Amino acid sequence: MKQVRKKILPQYFKEVCAENKRFELRKDEDNVQIDDELILEEWEPDTGYTGNITLRTVTYVLRNVPEYGLMEGYCIIGF
């Protein structure tokens, strides 16, 4: 298990915290695996990090399925 830190815009951060959004679509650059800890840090484009964070445990990773529209080099991380 490892920790992976990612920026997240406020509108998506709020949806993750409300448990309405349980996935992230990201570039597949961190080799995220099931049971990794995803640290999502709220980030405002104009002012930077807000100091708000939320932690999620990865339960699913979808990658390498261009036949379903997922572009090469991207993954969907479920939590």
> What is the predicted pLDDT for the residue at 74?
97
For the domain spanning 3-78, the CATH number is 2.30.130.30
How many Å separate Cα 34 from the centre of its chain?
13
Tens of pLDDT, residue by residue over 6-26, are 999 999 999 999 999 999 999
Look over the chain and give the mean of its residue pLDDT values, rounded to a whole number. Answer: 97
What is the value of pTM for the model shown?
Answer: 0.92
Domain borders along the chain are: 3-78
Task: Kindly tell me the burial class for residue 54, based on how many C-beta atoms sit within 10 Å of its own C-beta (0-12, 13-18, 19 or more).
Answer: middle
> What is the predicted pLDDT for the residue at 72?
94
